[in-house]
Amino acid sequence: MPETVALTIDGRPSSAPAGITVAAALENAGVRACRTSVAGEPRGVLCAMGICFECRVAVDGVPHRRACMEIVRDGMRVETKGEPGVPSSVPSGTEELACDVAVVGAGPAGVAAACRAAESGARTVVLDEAASPGGQIYRHLAGAGAPDAARPWLERLARSGAAVRLGAAVFDAVAEDGGWKLSSETAAGLCVVRARRLVLATGARELFLPFPGWTLPGVMGAGGAQAMAKSGAELHGRTALVAGSGALLLPVAATLASKGVDVALVAEQAGMAALARFTAALSGFPGKLLEAARYRSAFFDTPYRTGVWVAEARGRGRLESVVLTDGAARFEVACDLAAVGYGLVPNTELARLLGCATRGGAIAVDERQQTSVPGVHCAGEPCGVAGVEVAIAEGQIAGLAAAARLDDAADRDALTGGRARGRRLAAAMQRAFRPRRELAAPVLPDTVVCRCEDARFASLAACASAREAKLSSRAGMGPCQGRVCGPALAFLFGWDSDTVRPPVKPVRMGSLVDPE
């Protein structure tokens, strides 16, 4: 692979290191706004993991490509404004695969599930829309070496015999002939997988809560900022605020500091008492305490404040400062990057499409990671956010159970024990970092809540349900299909998402035509 590739950005010649994302290439070229919203506002990267669709650009004449999911190629044409031009090609191929176990998601849970299923003799197929396996936790540059923690599992996956299809976005799943049919879109066209059993390891996404100015380019999710750094964005010299809630804030601040970012402040909305209780819960997990201390040492000279949250982001066309509050006083921090996130939300859409029952916003499973739908297993964050160790344990249990080998596994008790222990810690974390109600206070009548459709708080507050909001303002009907605004609407108004239907992700019209 060449060290650099040549491309054009809005007609201007540019270059980028091979393997980085288009979103990172735009950032490095000083292009912070990827698109213009329906109301004419500039928009930049938010989640950087393919969920929010705020980074849509035209690539080689094909509009609405997610810059954070596209890897730069030599000769690539990227357009952030104006007409996209003529597509260089239109994908039309169809690949069909048959297997015993299909795994959706190649993060830690999905990789572990695929390894155990394939090693048990089951024909196994893995589908993931990213350019490389590992999920968000093990994100790395395409074609580059994986992180040390991920390498043993990724090497094991390569030896397992499982067929891996990357760049494959699963958008539909239906029961068929005693098994399941998965439809996914790839760069080449359509990939259809027929499987006897499924393991859904679809991960999680960030919880975004709106505040005035949160649509300014430069305001990203906490995980989004980390993903950009891992995807090749050159952030050296930037000044950042890291804010929100949860254990993710520490590694995000550490990652940014390691990239030469001046982290001005880390602001945790949870109070000191809640953090003290959580620290006490960590006493039985010395490894986690050491990990937290290691992260904190990476930005030791940065203030870390509790009981403080974002009230407003300010700037003319891009972020210039952030106003924070403790509920009584307000203060302003100058920055050109704000990494703000309030924890994670399970990705349950595909499982719900299949009819799987939920519990507390997550997919309900039994001791074998079996959902309420026979033949469909679920593992990792869709079952409730609990961290990488739990995801790997649940993935192994799900893969073995889907291959009908769980009862034969010599490490079954160790896996179930590790899962239970990790879930207890996750419950303590959820209690400590639950978003406070005061986070709704900064939202003003003209604050955008649904970023895809520019639906503002005042118009939504006049509605009685998510369905009425859709009908009156299109909230939740844009490209992200409510993945960003849905949890925000639940927080602000107590509304649950009313429906889930195929396609669960935006796809080309041609992909919706059954090849049969």
Those residues whose C-beta lies under 8 Å from the C-beta of residue 11, and which sit 6 or more positions away, are 79
Domain membership flag for residue 419: no
515, pLDDT greater than 60: no
pLDDT range class, residue 87, cuts 50, 70, 90: low
Residue where a domain terminates, one of 56, 79, 102: 79
Counted domains in the chain: 4
CA distance 37 to 217: 12
pLDDT range class, residue 142, cuts 50, 70, 90: confident
The domain that contains 357 carries what CATH number? 3.50.50.60
Q: Are 199 and 379 in contact (CB under 8 A)?
A: yes
Mean pLDDT of 45-73: 95
Q: Which domain holds residue 275?
A: 208-342
Query: For residue 2, what pLDDT is reported?
Result: 63
CA distance 295 to 251: 6
Are 74 and 111 in a shared domain?
no
Query: For residue 144, what pLDDT is reported?
Result: 74
Are 246 and 284 in a shared domain?
yes
**Euclidean distance between the first and the last CA atom of the chain, given in angstroms as a whole number:** 38
Domain membership flag for residue 337: yes
Query: For residue 510, what pLDDT is reported?
Result: 76
Mean pLDDT of 490-494: 95
339, pLDDT greater than 60: yes
Are 97 and 190 in a shared domain?
yes
pLDDT range class, residue 203, cuts 50, 70, 90: very high
CA distance 218 to 221: 10
Are 144 and 213 in a shared domain?
no
Are 405 and 453 in a shared domain?
no
Mean pLDDT of 54-82: 93
Mean pLDDT of 171-187: 95
Query: For residue 499, what pLDDT is reported?
Result: 77
Domain membership flag for residue 88: no
Are 230 and 157 in a shared domain?
no
Q: Are 171 and 507 in contact (CB under 8 A)?
A: yes
Are 226 and 284 in a shared domain?
yes
263, pLDDT greater than 60: yes
Mean pLDDT of 188-204: 96
Q: Report the mean per-residue pLDDT for the chain.
A: 94
Mean pLDDT of 123-149: 87
CA distance 153 to 132: 13
Alpha helices of 218-271 — where are they, by DSSP H?
Answer: 222-230, 249-258
Peptide bond into 435 cis (omega under 30): no
Are 225 and 282 in a shared domain?
yes
Q: Is 275 helix (H, G, I), strand (E, B) or coil?
A: helix
Q: Are 115 and 107 in contact (CB under 8 A)?
A: no
CA 493 from chain centre, in angstroms, equals 23
Domain membership flag for residue 424: no
Residue where a domain terminates, one of 365, 391, 409: 409
pLDDT range class, residue 141, cuts 50, 70, 90: confident
Query: For residue 93, what pLDDT is reported?
Result: 83
DSSP string computed for 201-233:
---EEE-----TTTTSTTEE-HHHHHHHHHTT-
Are 254 and 193 in a shared domain?
no
Domain membership flag for residue 85: no
The domain that contains 60 carries what CATH number? 3.10.20.440
Place of tokens 């519990």: 359
Are 264 and 301 in a shared domain?
yes
Those residues whose C-beta lies under 8 Å from the C-beta of residue 401, and which sit 6 or more positions away, are 368, 369, 370, 377
CA 376 from chain centre, in angstroms, equals 22
Kindly report the backbone phi and psi dihedral angles of residue 411, in degrees, each rounded to the nearest multiple of 5, phi listed first: -100, 20
Q: Are 48 and 25 in contact (CB under 8 A)?
A: no
299, pLDDT greater than 80: yes
Peptide bond into 13 cis (omega under 30): no
Are 145 and 246 in a shared domain?
no
pLDDT tens digits, one per residue of 364-417:
999 999 999 999 999 999 999 999 999 999 999 999 999 999 999 999 999 999
Give the largest CA-CA distance in the chain: 64
Query: For residue 91, what pLDDT is reported?
Result: 67
**pTM for the structure as a whole:** 0.95
Domain membership flag for residue 235: yes
Domain membership flag for residue 225: yes
CA distance 400 to 162: 14
CA distance 487 to 170: 22
Q: Is 172 helix (H, G, I), strand (E, B) or coil?
A: strand
Domain membership flag for residue 435: no
pLDDT range class, residue 498, cuts 50, 70, 90: low
Query: For residue 89, what pLDDT is reported?
Result: 62
Residue where a domain terminates, one of 317, 342, 367: 342
Are 166 and 273 in a shared domain?
no
